[in-house]
A and B are shown apart, each in its own frame.
Chain A
Amino acid sequence: MNQSLAFGCLGLLALSIVAPAILIVWFVLAKGGSMLSVEFLTAMPKDGMTAGGIFPAIAGSIGLVLATMVFAVPVGVLGAVYLSEYARQGLLVRAIRIAIMNLAGVPSIVYGLFGMGVFVMVVMPAIINALNLDPHEYSRSCLLAGAATLALLVLPMIITTSEEALRQVPQHQRHASLALGATKWQTIWRIVLPNAMPGILTGLVLAIGRAAGETAPILLTGAVFYMSRMPGAHDALFKPFMALPYHLFAIATQLPTAPDELKWGVALVLLSIVLGFNIIAVAMRTYLRRKRV
């Protein structure tokens, strides 16, 4: 009797965790599903963004996530390898770990300000100058600056989960490899990293979701409300961009005439893109697990 009561309570608690997730997906699907059409996914916005498609925001978000990962994955994973495999475990490494944990707790708007102060104001102008690009054609608030800022935001997450995954690789596997005459790097490359890869990919899934969904950091580093035409492939990195979360924020707060379904439609597309990236990562993880036994 007592036990079934307790189990009932626990079940209810579990349900209260799952319920919001289910409700969100349900709401988004029910309200935004009707918006899905070829035009919505592939056309430019029209009528002051209250109609037409959202193609620039979709392309912007996908480009942003890819560029963010190009910055963050090598630095994050190799940083984790350094911290857990090479660095002498002393005061310095402990300080670095604490710094990383604190970085994970910094509000995203602060990252946005930092990105504006460093990437937009200093780094991008320097790059544009160095490449001899026309400052009227190429913008210092741009996809590159936004991706760099988001990369900083997701780095702590990638480093922490990668380090955890590396720690899970049993010590005897490293010793077996070293005892066969492998160098430290050969051991890391052939034994440790492949073993840790599923765990590392789990961290990347989280990072992708975070990068795709953040609004504040890109708001200050290059995201724009509206673009009249798509940038070309050659200069997209140096142009301002539209992105789904900011687009959603804009139409929800600035455009009272925008129809409700439009907002839910944008949310549905954003959710699907994050889900799509996650499915790719999970598929890679499953493939790697199967390949390795």
Chain B
Amino acid sequence: MAAQTPEIRASQDVTRSRSIEASTGPAIKLSAQDLSVFYGKFQALKGVCMDIPERQITALIGPSGCGKSTFLRCLNRMNDVLDGVRVEGQLLMDGVNIYDRRVDAVELRKRVGMVFQQPNPFPMSIFDNIAYGPRLHGERNRSRLAEIVENTLRGAALWDEVKDKLHQSAFSLSGGQQQRLCIARVMAVQPEVILMDEPCSALDPNATFRIEELMTQLKQDYTVIIVTHNMYQAARVSQKTGFFLLGDLIEFDETARIFEAPSDKRTEDYVQGRFG
């Protein structure tokens, strides 16, 4: 692999065909190598090493303040937006360090989308919300935009619910629908990776179920990484699970192993609900 080239815009197809060639197990999409994050003097992440497989769902669990959201925000460099954050170590995406000075964070975020804890649609119509990303990246053609919006909403299993009110405000939707709209808004940019920061914590069980269903579908095309407080959710949807505690990655393994036979005592205590 051509190490350290800043060419992170390698087309999706190239990445995919590469992963198909590697027939022994899923390819590694993202690889954290001794990754540390500091907020001022406070060290929020302590030398994390983690290989995230392509087109699977990886769950990050742990008590509040354990660094799992901080780690997630490293993956699309959203930490750059916050004041006084310093990142050390390497984070390789398809073999390229995304913290290399030559990598443009704006370009990176087109390839690594993010869904937030609170549904945060823009105060625009449903159509304009989905079309925001494509417009941003230069798509002006109206019929082409309409096509993208329809395909994306179908992909997010939201089309049938909103097809008659595409030009109504996104706020007219329920909380769960808004969150699925936000997922669709990310899909419209055609990223390779989708990050989700506790996407269901503001939703009721039924809406949560719909989103989990969607996530399972998403993993056929995207690498999905989800931070969750809900251990059952991690167990239900993910293939790999990482357990964070006080900035350390304590254990990272197949989800089944983490929940049934963890190798670390602290992981066992946490997944059995003894603290956190």
B191 to chain A, nearest CB (A): 8
Query: Contact partner of A293 among B83, B124, B132, B186, CB < 8 A?
Result: B124
A91 to chain B, nearest CB (A): 15
A183 to chain B, nearest CB (A): 5
B135 to chain A, nearest CB (A): 8
A176-B116 contact in complex given A182-B136, A191-B122, A293-B123, C-beta closer than 8 Å: yes
Task: Say whether A180 contacts B78, CB under 8 Å.
Answer: no
Task: Say whether B136 contacts A180, CB under 8 Å.
Answer: yes
- Taking CB atoms, residues of chain A closer than 8 Å to B116 are 172, 175-176, 179
CA distance A76 to B124 in the complex (A): 26
Task: Say whether B78 contacts A178, CB under 8 Å.
Answer: yes
User: Is the C-beta of B46 less than 8 angstroms from some C-beta in chain A?
Assistant: no
Task: Say whether A179 contacts B132, CB under 8 Å.
Answer: no
A134 to chain B, nearest CB (A): 50
Task: Say whether A180 contacts B113, CB under 8 Å.
Answer: yes
Task: Say whether B109 contacts A179, CB under 8 Å.
Answer: yes
Number of residues from A at the complex interface, CB < 8 A: 20
Task: Say whether A179 contacts B122, CB under 8 Å.
Answer: no
User: Is the C-beta of B106 less than 8 angstroms from some C-beta in chain A?
Assistant: yes
Task: Say whether A293 contacts B171, CB under 8 Å.
Answer: yes
Docked complex: B121-164 residues within 8 A CB-CB of A: 122-124, 132-133, 136-137
Task: Say whether A180 contacts B189, CB under 8 Å.
Answer: yes
Task: Say whether B182 contacts A186, CB under 8 Å.
Answer: no
User: Is the C-beta of A94 less than 8 angstroms from some C-beta in chain B?
Assistant: no
Of listed A174, A179, A190, residue having the most chain B CB within 10 A: A179
Query: Contact partner of A179 among B78, B118, B169, CB < 8 A?
Result: B78
Docked complex: A158-183 residues within 8 A CB-CB of B: 170, 172-183
Task: Say whether A292 contacts B123, CB under 8 Å.
Answer: yes
Task: Say whether B113 contacts A183, CB under 8 Å.
Answer: no
- Taking CB atoms, residues of chain B closer than 8 Å to A221 are none
User: Is the C-beta of A195 less than 8 angstroms from some C-beta in chain B?
Assistant: yes
B164 to chain A, nearest CB (A): 18
- Taking CB atoms, residues of chain A closer than 8 Å to B76 are 179
CA distance A179 to B109 in the complex (A): 6
CA distance A174 to B136 in the complex (A): 14
A172 to chain B, nearest CB (A): 4
User: Is the C-beta of B107 less than 8 angstroms from some C-beta in chain A?
Assistant: yes
User: Is the C-beta of B266 less than 8 angstroms from some C-beta in chain A?
Assistant: no
Task: Say whether B110 contacts A181, CB under 8 Å.
Answer: yes
Contact with A along B70-113 (1 / 0, CB 8 A): 00000010100101000000000000000000000011011001
Task: Say whether A181 contacts B169, CB under 8 Å.
Answer: no
Residue of A nearest to B115 (CB): A179
Residue of B nearest to A178 (CB): B81
User: Is the C-beta of B180 less than 8 angstroms from some C-beta in chain A?
Assistant: no
- Taking CB atoms, residues of chain B closer than 8 Å to A172 are 116, 118, 120
User: Is the C-beta of B185 less than 8 angstroms from some C-beta in chain A?
Assistant: yes
Task: Say whether B122 contacts A183, CB under 8 Å.
Answer: no
A181-B81 contact in complex given A176-B120, A292-B123, A292-B124, C-beta closer than 8 Å: no
Task: Say whether A181 contacts B120, CB under 8 Å.
Answer: no
- Taking CB atoms, residues of chain A closer than 8 Å to B124 are 292-293
A186-B136 contact in complex given A178-B78, A181-B106, A293-B169, C-beta closer than 8 Å: yes
CA distance A293 to B124 in the complex (A): 6
Task: Say whether A180 contacts B132, CB under 8 Å.
Answer: yes
Task: Say whether A195 contacts B123, CB under 8 Å.
Answer: yes
Residue of A nearest to B136 (CB): A182
CA distance A280 to B76 in the complex (A): 44
- Taking CB atoms, residues of chain B closer than 8 Å to A180 are 109-110, 113, 132-133, 136, 185-186, 189
What are 9 A-B contacts defined by CB distance under 8 Å? A173-B123, A175-B78, A175-B120, A176-B120, A176-B182, A176-B185, A179-B109, A182-B136, A190-B136
Given contacts A175-B120, A177-B132, A181-B137, 9 further A-B contacts (CB under 8 A): A172-B118, A175-B81, A175-B116, A176-B120, A181-B110, A182-B106, A182-B136, A191-B122, A292-B123
State the A residues within 8 Å of B (CB): 89, 170, 172-183, 186, 190-191, 195, 292-293
